[in-house]
Amino acid sequence: MESIVAQFESMLKWIVDNIDGPLWDITVITLLGVGLFFTITTGLVQLRLLPRSIREMWSGRAAEGESLTPFQAFATGLASRVGVGNIGGVATAIALGGPGAVFWMWITALIGMSSAFAESSLAQVYKIRDPNGMFRGGPAYYITKGLKAPWLAVAFAITLIFTFGFAFNAVQANSIVEATRNAWNWNASYVGISLVVLTAIIIFGGIKRVAQVSAKVVPMMALFYLIMAVIILGMNIEKVPAVLSNIVQSAFDFSAMAGGMFGAIFSKAMIMGIKRGLFSNEAGMGSAPNSAATSDAKHPASQGLIQMLGVFVDTIIVCTCTAIIILMSDNYGSEALRGVSLTQQSLEFHVGEFGLHFLAFILLLFCYTSIIGNYAYAETNVRYIRNTPSFVLGFRLVVLFFVYFGAVRDGGIVWAFADTVMASMAMINLVSIILLAPIVWLILKDYQKQIQSGIQQPKFKIEDYPNLIKRGVDPEVWKSTD
């Protein structure tokens, strides 16, 4: 088994060494470009309608049927975002890119909020109702129906499977091993085998029940982490201005340049901030639309605004808390510490040994439930490609291999592989939402028109836009019941 894992690691290193750099050069330009495009063409939707997004989220708590409410879809998306990206991802960005990486995480989030609005609104527009009466959808659906490009939808589904089913699950397993080794000195191989067994039990039978539990547990764990962060910030409030100043000043230090064809204009801080920002908030990646489509929102823009708010909470609030905790400790700058270890040692600096154990326990729950959630995302796309028992079985076995691989291998190659496949997935989605931009503008215009006319809870009526039916929208989903 060890020789197979070692050979596979060598293959991944070759892929990363030859593809990751050039691919991310293009992805950075595309990610920022698409974000700026939607920021401008929607009239700064992420700033103008941010208060409205809070209202939509809060008013969307009431359930009216079998599908998820807008609030539940928001909570599901937020639960998948808040986790190792906010804890280990921020630390990795700071360790490799310096404090300035945090600034570029902020920029990625603020610009990406408009992309998040676009992709989640499109997911709502093109959602379908399955035989059980539940809504489902996502990029594979709006690419197939809106762009009439099923081949591109399959390509997206494949990259999502590699990203969430394989790479991200390896990252989660690696983070569990690192956290538990630091706190309790647990053996990596034993942890890896245990994770494989626990994951197998879920993916071969009990995913619905665990999903119900994780939907309650994960937000609670996120709240506990935020409370801990607020307490630490309160204890060191006098240091916060200096830390924030350091972040901004370091963001424009181009003495440490990135590699690749655009290395002359990209610093390491910028590249690491954008990479870890995308991993954490997923804005434009194409993952959040899968949960956004499950909502029974009455207007596509409503869920778009709610998912946009999730990006803000994830990066501007949670990631910033982690960054300040790290930068206020005496562990920052140590070459021996990065990722989860850096965050754990920083918490230990502030609150003693309790912080080490607290974060290990939090990450154990975060990462395990993320493995389950990642698997669910990926299985949906596996069944989109080929819904046969043998094909799904093969996929499940590969997922279990990656869980073990992530547990027993170095975090560097695991994160690098995740970066590579994540960029591939994001590129397909970003190009797709640009091509579908006129529909995003139409949806936003309709929503704003209703708000301006005094309607407090806008409802989308497909009868007003018959051309959308020709563009692949299911009229039964949006048929007016008034």
Over residues 12-50, the pLDDT tens digits come to 888 777 787 788 888 888 998 999 999 999 999 999 999
90: pLDDT strictly greater than 70 = yes
Give residue 453's pLDDT: 93
Give residue 266's pLDDT: 62
Q: What is the rounded average pLDDT of the residues 212-239?
A: 80
Superfamily of domain covering 1-454? Amino acid/polyamine transporter I (1.20.1740.10)
Give residue 446's pLDDT: 96
DSSP state letters, 206-224: IHHHHHHHHHHHHHHHHHH
Lowest mean pLDDT among 65-74, 113-122, 193-202: 65-74
Side-chain half-sphere CA neighbours of 182 within 13 A: 28
Tokens representing 428? 């397909």
Q: What is the rounded average pLDDT of the residues 413-432?
A: 92
Contact present, 191 and 360 (Cβ < 8 Å): no
Calpha distance 34→437 (Å, rounded): 10
Task: Please tell me the pTM assigned to this model.
Answer: 0.88
Give residue 252's pLDDT: 80
Whole-number percent of the chain with pLDDT over 90: 43
Q: What is the rounded average pLDDT of the residues 375-390?
A: 85
| Angle (nearest 5°) at CA 321 between 319 and 324 | 110
Give residue 264's pLDDT: 46
Calpha distance 168→174 (Å, rounded): 10
366: pLDDT strictly greater than 90 = no
Local confidence band at 60 (pLDDT 50, 70, 90 cut-offs): low
Q: What is the rounded average pLDDT of the residues 92-121?
A: 91
Give residue 261's pLDDT: 47
64: pLDDT strictly greater than 70 = no
pLDDT tens per residue across span 251-266: 887 654 455 544 445 6
Give residue 257's pLDDT: 47
Q: How does DSSP classify residue 69?
A: P
Helices (H) and strands (E) in the chain, counts: 24, 2
Contact present, 60 and 292 (Cβ < 8 Å): no
Mean pLDDT over the full length of the chain = 85
Lowest mean pLDDT among 327-336, 357-366, 400-409: 327-336
pLDDT tens per residue across span 282-299: 888 998 888 788 888 889
